[in-house]
Amino acid sequence: MAGMQSSELEYIEHSSQLPLKCSVVSIENSSPHWHHEYEVFFVLKGGVAVHCEEKDWRMETGDIFLFNSCDIHSINQPEPENLCLILQFSPDVFTDVYKSNFRFELNTRSAAGMTSDVSHLLKHELAQMGLLVYEKPNGYQFFIKSSLYGFIGLMFKHLQYKVEHVSKMPVDNRLKDFDAVKKYIKQRFSVEINVEQMCADLAMSRAKLYRVLKDAGAESYKSLVNYYRVEHAKGLLRNTNSAIQYIATASGFESDSSFYRVFKDLTSVSPNQYRELPKNNDVPFGIQGYASYYMPAAIDALKKY
């Protein structure tokens, strides 16, 4: 975890029905950041510049890159347009089975000995997950889990990796504590959260709470509260005609002015500007520079694999 204070922690939320988050986006840039989840980038069109572990790679159409859990990384756009599938999944997928974490080497720009057959199998599983997320046929939750575990099985079978045993991962318990803090705040962000009550409910002291937040790279519990409040407000702005004043209150803000200030700090646009944006051009938080892509074009790109 050394050096993580110079980068930002990205909070990744996924459906309770799925152990992953999968989407197709166009990437402009992302500032240096990290997250607990593993992240797989699959370039479907164009190219991206990847920076990870003080090294740079230019990834082209058909390339795959894996960021391991807690890797500090950033992505930039070296040409006018690109299209990428992003798969993110929790380390719990491994620790639930092995009680260990793993560091995999997956970079088609530098991987020695990866055959075209293996590359094709990896791309097929990734594309399958992307299509399932977009098309959502009956029972897709089962199919997408199957594709995820199939992809992970291919990683174990064909990729080089290192084992990080539990005894070498003292931070993991704190990450679980951090997950508990996130869950607590996510369920209560619309009301004022009393820190003392939160500590009592989570059975941790105030000192431990601050330590857990610091170890995870979070600025404060208030920053997490604001994150979930703005996420909720974005949904209301996108999907309802409710007045700004109502949305501010429903999202837990004490005043319209604090709502406007926090919303713009986190998204770089005002609530009104956000509401006017095209629905396929979502505004991410400051860490990311991703935009949703026209769905039919995304599906066509995925079907090629």
| Best CA proximity match to 162, nearest among 123, 112, 106, 92 | 106
How confident is residue 16, by pLDDT bands cut at 50, 70 and 90?
low
H/E stretch holding 112 reads none
Q: Which residues pair with 66 in a beta bridge?
A: 40
Highest mean pLDDT among 89-98, 211-220, 282-291: 89-98
With a pLDDT cut of 90, the percent of the chain lying above it is 39
Residue 37 or residue 164, greater confidence: 37
What pLDDT digit, counting tens, does each position of 218-272 carry?
Answer: 667 888 888 889 888 988 998 899 999 999 999 999 999 999 999 888 777 899 9
Instruction: For residue 122, give the amino acid letter.
Output: L
Using alpha carbons, select from 18, 41, 108, 2 the residue that is nearest to residue 288. Answer: 41
Which letter does DSSP use for residue 28 in this model? -
**Regarding predicted confidence, which is higher, 57 or 217?**
57
Distance CA 254, CA 264 (A): 16
**What pLDDT shows up at residue 250?**
94
Confidence band of 7 (pLDDT split at 50, 70, 90): low
- Looking at residue 291, its pLDDT comes to 58
- Nearest Cα to 293, choosing from 126, 87, 84? 84
DSSP state of 103: E
User: pLDDT value at position 283?
Assistant: 45
Q: Is the pLDDT of residue 152 over 60?
A: yes
Q: Identify the band that residue 79 occupies on the pLDDT scale cut at 50, 70 and 90.
A: low
Is 27 in contact with 283 (CB distance < 8 Å)?
no
User: For residue 27, what are the contacts with CB-CB under 8 A and spacing of at least 6?
Assistant: 48, 75, 76, 77, 82, 84, 289, 290
Region of poorest pLDDT, from 36-50, 99-113, 210-224, 287-301:
287-301
pLDDT in tens, 136-148: 899 999 999 999 9
For residue 4, what pLDDT band results from cuts at 50, 70 and 90? very low
pLDDT digits (tens, 9 = 90+) for 118-130: 999 999 999 999 9
Q: What domains, with CATH codes, occur in the chain?
A: 4-167 (2.60.120.280), 172-276 (1.10.10.60)
Q: HSE (CB half, 13 Å, CA atoms) of 178?
A: 23
Sheet (strand 73-76) strand order = 8-9, 29-34, 73-76, 47-52, 55-60
pLDDT in tens, 172-216: 565 678 778 888 988 899 999 999 999 999 999 999 988 888 766
Where is mean pLDDT largest: 98-107, 219-228, 280-289? 98-107
Using 50, 70 and 90 to split pLDDT, how confident is the model at 287? very low
253 φ/ψ angles, rounded to the nearest 5 degrees = -85, 145
Q: Concatenated DSSP letters for 224-246?
A: HHHHHHHHHHHHHHHH----HHH
Q: Residue 259: enclosing H or E segment and its boundaries?
A: helix 256-267
Task: Encode pLDDT of 17-65 as tens digits.
Answer: 778 889 888 887 776 777 888 999 999 999 988 988 778 899 999 999 9
pLDDT of 281 higher than 60: no
Residue 73 dihedral angles phi and psi, to the nearest 5°: -150, 165
Residue 167: per-residue pLDDT: 45
pLDDT at res. 298: 82
